[in-house]
Amino acid sequence: MNDAVSSPPSPASAAASPRRITQAVSIGEIKVGGGHPVVVQSMTNTDTADIASSVRQVAELWRAGSELVRLTVNNPESAAAIPRIREKLDMMGVPVPLIGDFHYNGHQLLAGEPACAQALAKYRINPGNVGFGKKRDTQFAQLIEFAIQYGKPVRIGANWGSLDQSLAAQLMDENAKRADPWDAGHVLREALIRSALDSAERAVEIGLPRDRIVLSAKVSGVQELIAVYRDLAQRSDFALHLGLTEAGIGSKGIVASSAALAVLLQEGIGDTIRISLTPEPGQSRTQEVIVAQELLQTTGQRAFTPMVTACPGCGRTTSEFFQELAKVVQEHVRGRMPEWKISHPGAENMTLAVMGCVVNGPGESRHANIGISLPGTGEAPAAPVFVDGEKSVTLRGENIAQEFVALIDNYVETRYARSAG
């Protein structure tokens, strides 16, 4: 029998691999892992002790869609600020769970400020920064005991930039004795993974349930991150927090984070994500939340806000109008989404198209729920609008943007209205 011609290859699937099933961790009201949707989180860059600024930024991140927000807790002032930040957020109707980020002195801060230990919904512990020498194990145990006492989950977050040096040295020594030694990069990746896994097992021995542990092992290189998380996912069932650490500023940070996280999410790896962008001067911190949402939405993991398909434009586009229209439409639907989420559930799945000419305009517009094909060079000054694949109206004149936006609002009103009762 000739196997080569016996059966055609299966068509490639257009969906991501099934999610890896991990422990389900409750962080306040938010569930991470266990097959729950991938959770978006972010981190403030205010001085936590500056209560007004921190409250403002946490609320802003939450309104942008961050489901968990982490704050640095690095000194007694910031630890004392946490319960007051929680109180003010509750008064404002901002229920987002707060995560405390501890390094070096977390055991002292939690001991000194019980209200902080109580107000936080999760503690982040970096096993490479928990203490030095003999104190490391004791201080790690103290942090875990606080988590047990207050009923909180922890993220054991190892980081390439603060790798446990004694573990790295031990693995280097072991590697030197191998018949076929690994390269240095492999040994360092193993040290990072072991730091996270061994610390998690130690926390379990101390008494923290497995479903109160989230793991991360962050590096700043795309290929290294993919390799580390594939390994981590194979070697444990802990919920995983994904993020490319120190991703960078501007498009570089966005591209590098998306490249790394998209591969892992496609393989079903990852339960919560953070995009560690360095904001451009004057830029809102919320950009990292929008990028995280767009990454999850464009890869088909979750829907947050209607997405606009727009062509890049070329010599056939007559003006910048279509670029402006694409921007106006995306900003309009993003701005309306918090209200639609409640009044018109499902609107986040709506697809829109803003196209620059007849070449791909009508075709792409027909694929969207609502699409508009603007006139290119030499075309009649008319913009046909397509609704659910059918040509609906043709817009002309000065008010195309307002009329198209009104058509979108009307579509949401009729298609996604919450049914009575």
Q: Which residues are at the interface with ligand SF4 (CB under 6 A)?
A: 311-314, 316-317, 355-357, 359-361, 376
User: In terms of C-beta density within 10 A (0-12 exposed, 13-18 middle, 19 or more buried), how is residue 375 classed?
Assistant: buried
104: three-class secondary structure by DSSP:
coil
Least distance (Å) from ligand SF4 to the CB of residue 26?
Answer: 47
Q: Report, in Å, the least distance between residue 291 CB and ligand SF4.
A: 24
Q: Please list the residues that pair with 309 across neighbouring strands.
A: 353
Residues in the annotated binding site for [4Fe-4S] cluster: 311, 314, 357, 364
Tokens 């991938």 belong to: 38
| Least CB distance to ligand SF4 at residue 215 (A) | 44
Judged by beta carbon, residue 346 or residue 362, the one nearer ligand SF4 is: 362
Shortest reach from residue 374's CB to ligand SF4, in Å? 8
Q: Which is nearer to ligand SF4, 88 or 316 (CB)?
A: 316
Q: Give me the sign of the Cα torsion angle 102, 107, 113, 117.
A: positive
DSSP code per residue over 311-371: ----TT--STHHHHHHHHHHHHHHHHHHHHHHHSTTGGG-EEEEESSTTTHHHHHHHSSEE
Output 258 or 317, the one with its CB closest to ligand SF4: 317
Token look-up 């029998």 returns 1
Query: Is the Cβ of residue 154 or residue 357 nearer to ligand SF4 in the bound state?
Result: 357
Cα–Cα distance measured from residue 14 to residue 45, given in angstroms and rounded to the nearest whole number: 38
C-alpha closest to that of 92 among 60, 115, 118, 124 = 60
CB of 213 to ligand SF4, least distance (A): 49
Pick between residue 169 and residue 314 the one whose CB is nearest to ligand SF4: 314
Dihedral of CA atoms 371, 377, 378, 382 in degrees, nearest 10, equals: 30
